[in-house]
Chains A and B, each alone.
Chain A
Amino acid sequence: MQDETLTIDPEHLQRGSSVSPFLPGTKVQYAWDSTSLGYLKTCPRLYAYIMIEGWQSRGDSPHLRFGSEYHSALQHYDQLMAQGAKHADAVHAVVVATLERVADWNPDPATKAGKYKNRATLLELVCNYLEHYRDDHAKTFILPDGKAAVELSFRFELPWGPTPAPSMEAAMEGNVSGQPYMLSGHLDRVVDWNDSLFVLDHKTAMSTISDYYFKQYDLSNQMTLYTLAGRIVLKTPVRGVLISAAQIMLEDHNRFVRGVTYRTEAQLDEWQSDLHYWFTLAETYATQGYWPMNDTSCDKFGGCKFREVCSKAPHVRKHYLASDFTKLEEADRWNPLKSR
């Protein structure tokens, strides 16, 4: 199965496109990333609220913004170093760019999230990381074309697709071409670490980073897709993901710990086989226009943001959605085909 899937050309390293991930005139999603797939697996209703209807919490989430800025800063550094910059110059450029990007960002310091994740803690964490890993043992992999394997947006087709033309309306709109399913995403960096290749992914945490912390990634949709994508993009046996975790400390030195999560060929094959079932389910929900609630997921990961909405009677939920969330225009919604 693996071989069937891995017949990919360099077009996988895509940039800039943002066409719809849904088949024209339908709610059948054909282009998936780990985020949207994660929503579907967690709860079909959560998936529908975000991916189909476009609801987003009001206000900026400090967690999302902080993580995004942290990634951007470290990627900027990796790019500059790959271009031959000196460490000190690269750090300076990264701090300047970060200051410019976060100038308008003022998370509420009265909240726990805002206390841990704000401009000052971001700048400190970025500077600390770059100092801590100045002589990084994880060396950036150099692609066959001589470019450093940093900030790789990937996209590849699977050897099967959604059932064509789910409705007459869709057929009228031209959805008869047999569009295959696509997987897409973004790899921070691919590194050579202890003589093996790994995708490196950055994470930030407010709590202690222990073995238990890293174990959560052994069954992670995101890390499995990243490993698979690493193999496809590089055509080399990437063994898994090196998770570079940073613990933000308010009263002590920030901590940096790395852990590895491995994936075997058999595990990757199983994950792809399971995708058939998940995508079939997604198609069924989309064609029936109904995404059931998975009420065993509501309290996971600190509690679903739609928990308050789902706990209300069905006929009043739309009022709660409208008051607590913003409905994004289609162009602004999460889109797996939108490259960073």
Chain B
Amino acid sequence: MSKLPTTTDDPLQNEVNLLMERDPLDLAKDPEAVDKLILFYRRERAKMKEGIKPLKARKAESGVKLDLVALGFKTPPTIGIKRRV
């Protein structure tokens, strides 16, 4: 399963992160854990009505980004295949 950030200031999120690490069969036998999972997805979905991006968007944006200007580039280099002429 894809992993969410392990520690945040959100208790439900932290609990769900741990749940997602568990064996699915074990998780299925734990009614409280299943309810927490459902509650988490419901809460994330509710953010849509408020125009707030879900947690997974923050996760996607949290990757390490290089400061290219600090590395000596005047402008960020273009990545891609040069057109053949």
Residues of A within 8 A of B (CB): 91-92, 95-97, 99-100, 102-103, 109, 118-121, 123-124, 127-128, 131-132, 250-253
Contact = CB atoms under 8 A, between A and B. Distances in A.
Contacts of B48: 253
Contact of B54 (A103, A120, A253): A253
Given A99-B27, A99-B28, A124-B44, 16 more contacts: A91-B38, A95-B34, A95-B37, A100-B24, A100-B25, A100-B28, A102-B24, A120-B20, A123-B41, A127-B38, A128-B45, A131-B41, A252-B53, A252-B57, A253-B44, A253-B53
B57 A251 contact: yes
Contacts of B60: 250-251
A252 B23 CA distance: 26
Contacts of A118: 1-2
Interface of B: 1-2, 20, 23-25, 27-28, 31, 34-35, 37-38, 41-42, 44-45, 47-48, 53-54, 56-57, 60-61
Contacts, number: 66
User: Which are the 8 A-B pairs with shortest beta-carbon distances?
Assistant: A127-B41, A99-B28, A103-B24, A251-B60, A253-B48, A99-B24, A120-B1, A103-B25
Contacts of A252: 53-54, 56-57
A92 B1 contact: no
Contact of A96 (B28, B44, B45): B28
B35 A92 contact: yes
A91 B41 CA distance: 12
11 contacts: A95-B28, A100-B25, A103-B23, A103-B24, A120-B20, A123-B41, A131-B41, A132-B45, A251-B53, A253-B48, A253-B53
A133 to B, nearest CB: 12
Please indicate which of the listed interface residues B31, B47, B53, B56 has the most CB atoms of chain A within 10 Å of its own CB: B56
A102 to B, nearest CB: 6
A200 B38 CA distance: 25
Contacts of B34: 92, 95-96, 99
A258 to B, nearest CB: 17
Nearest to B60: A251
Given A92-B31, A92-B35, A127 B25 contact: no
A250 B24 CA distance: 21
